[in-house]
Chain A
Amino acid sequence: MTQRVLIAEDERNIVESLRFVLSREGYEVSHALDGAEALALVRRETPDALVLDLMLPKLSGYDVLKELRADEMTRALPILMLTAKGQSHDRQAAEDLGVDAFMTKPFANSDVVAQVARLLGNDAG
């Protein structure tokens, strides 16, 4: 069965390239342009993994993360956080809130693909 990845990112061009890259890897990709939309889509579409930007309009990545971790239904959702903030306290704050992986911008597509594969258990072989 095809695994589904949701990209929550407000930069359309980044969404477009990530969608292309992840689709080529065989994932079914959807996207949200703000934090509130991301929460709604996670609940409606129940994706297998979430690529979550930190600086999102309406609800920040931190807020989305907090809500998802507080909800029994979404507590275990694998989340890769993307951020322009690369400082150690940002990473620490995200880890404290229960993020599974953390990458700073700009990143290589291959690294994003590798992280998503790892979170979904596709990296064994």
Chain B
Amino acid sequence: MPALPIGHRIRARRKEIGVTQTALAKTLGISVSYVNLIEHDKRSIGGALLNRLGEALGLEQGALDGAQERRVLDELAEIAAGAAHGAQPQPESARDLLARHEPWARALLGLHRGAARDQRMIAALSDRLNQDPVLNASVNDMLSSATAIRSVADILAETPDLESGQRARFDAIVQEEATRLSDVTRTLAKVFQESQADVRGLTGPEEVDDYLYRRSNHFPQLEEFAERLALDPYPSAMIAHLEARHGVTMRRCALTDMPSDTTRASAYDAATKTLTLAEGIAPATVRFELARKIAVIEAEDAIAAEIKDAPELASEAGQVTATRALAAYVAGAITMPYAPFHEAAEEARYDIDALAIRYDASAEQLCHRFTTLKRAGAEGVPFAMLRANAAGYLTKRFPLPRLPMPRHGGACPLWAVYSAMQTPDLRVARIAEFPNGERFFMLARATRPQATAYGQTRPSFALMLACEIVHADRLVYSDGLDLSASGMADAVGSTCLLCPRTGCAHRQEASIRMRAT
């Protein structure tokens, strides 16, 4: 769904704050006629000039290039797709709603997100009621105790001639079962308390998605923090730093002996100041976990300052998740410092294998770091990133303004991320054309991030980077591909629900856009 043209926005904002074309041109260091061309969409702009324009007009980049509006419109289209049959609004009318009644549109989004969250909560609780072994066993125990108590109580009440030994025995049964019943009740109460905690956790990742999107996943203060720290990013140096500065020691232990309450490769015991890392995890993970620990301790205030007052992070879960995400961000900035990493990435043309050797980093860490290269004047390729699990569910996403990425569930099955899953370690580089004609370069590979012990299933993911086709020639992976508008491309969509393509062999469900016409 196209957003308002960027020139229109620039002109409207310039007039709103009472700046003339001449004054704006002077601030930007460009000619008045060039400003005029931009305002009439006769010249496309991006990169550094767009940043400077944003600063001059007091607007975030997302508001200026229509990315924020586009994101809202995409979500409104998802709402239209999910509306009851017969009551489905035309997705195209979403722009009118947003333009004329923005508070209503945003209220609708809030309700939609709340409903989606509630549905997931109901599904989770329903699964829990039906399948949770603890719950099933507890209910069974409770009914057994109640049966015994009732049966014995009947006997005691209806048998006046009960022999005293027998009566004492039945009294003891009532005592025993009453104790058991109260134990079971306590267990059940705990189960329900924990399920409430799980449910609260559902809101966190969504809020953090929104937050990182608004901040373009770039945090200048945290970059500066890591640069000031100027830490030698080698494990031995970081271990020495942690011990000397904070009294934190590191130990390794078998993955099977890791504390049972963590599924991660690392655990921290605050009482003994011990960081435990599982044996068998990749050296890149060891390095990253050490940097993350340093970030958690030393960047605590800097991270807190970033998330303080963030309107997206309304829930406690959102703030906790964001704090964790920003600690990982700082770890990335420590192990791959901005300026040299940006230079190396450009020089290697974003060759993940070459950079993995140079920085001793995993593919996922590198992809993450790529998405943060937004420093004014030293921008990297603007990438979207996503990660899908073996079930095809998108478990991580950093969107791009023009790339429609579904918020919930999976994406179009034709996206490279799903092809990569079929052949581990093979890089899948594809050009994808969306129904509106926009082309993106997609690069994906499957990854198995963590060593496991016998009997444990090793998790597998596929990672995907995507960028607008105009940037694809900066990537080593595009060599040999025809990047011209007439070159071969996969005809993809975002999700089946929102895709208007007809005759697609991969369609799983009807599109709202087909139904509406």
Binding site for B on A (CB under 8 A): 11, 13-14, 16-18, 20-21, 24, 55, 84, 105-110
Contact = CB atoms under 8 A, between A and B. Distances in A.
Interface of B is mostly: helix
Interface string B163-174: 000100110010
B155 A17 contact: yes
Contacts of A106: 143, 146-147, 149-151
A13 B173 contact: yes
Given A24-B159, A106-B147, 20 more contacts: A11-B147, A13-B152, A13-B176, A13-B177, A14-B147, A20-B155, A20-B166, A21-B154, A55-B140, A84-B139, A84-B147, A105-B144, A105-B147, A107-B147, A107-B150, A108-B154, A109-B151, A109-B154, A109-B155, A110-B154
Nearest to B142: A84
Contacts of A14: 144, 147-148, 151
Contacts of B177: 13
Nearest to B149: A106
Interface of B: 139-140, 143-144, 146-152, 154-155, 158-159, 166, 169-170, 173, 176-177
Nearest to A24: B159
A84 B151 contact: no
A13 B177 CA distance: 8
Nearest to A18: B151
A11 B143 CA distance: 11
B324 to A, nearest CB: 41
B147 A16 contact: no
Task: For the complex of A and B, list the 4 residue pairs with the smallest distance between their C-beta atoms, beginning with the closest.
Answer: A84-B143, A17-B151, A106-B147, A13-B148
Contacts of A108: 150, 154
A16 B166 CA distance: 11
A105 B173 contact: no
A21 B144 contact: no
A108 B146 CA distance: 11
A11 B141 CA distance: 9
B166 to A, nearest CB: 8
A31 B128 CA distance: 34
A108 to B, nearest CB: 6
A97 B270 CA distance: 57
Contacts of B173: 13, 16-17
Nearest to A16: B173
A5 to B, nearest CB: 15
A70 to B, nearest CB: 27
A86 to B, nearest CB: 9
A110 B140 CA distance: 22
25 contacts: A11-B144, A13-B152, A13-B177, A14-B147, A16-B169, A16-B173, A17-B155, A18-B151, A20-B166, A24-B159, A84-B139, A84-B140, A84-B144, A84-B147, A105-B143, A105-B146, A105-B147, A106-B143, A106-B146, A106-B147, A107-B151, A108-B150, A108-B154, A109-B151, A109-B158
Contacts of A13: 148, 152, 173, 176-177
A55 B142 CA distance: 14
A55 B169 CA distance: 26
Contacts of B147: 11, 14, 84, 105-107
A77 B149 CA distance: 29
B170 A17 contact: yes
Contacts of A55: 140
Contacts of A20: 155, 166
Given A16-B173, A84-B144, A105-B146, A21 B139 contact: no
Contacts of A24: 159
Contacts of A16: 169, 173
> Which of A13, A105, A108 has the most chain B CB within a 10 Å cutoff?
A13
Contacts of A21: 151, 154-155
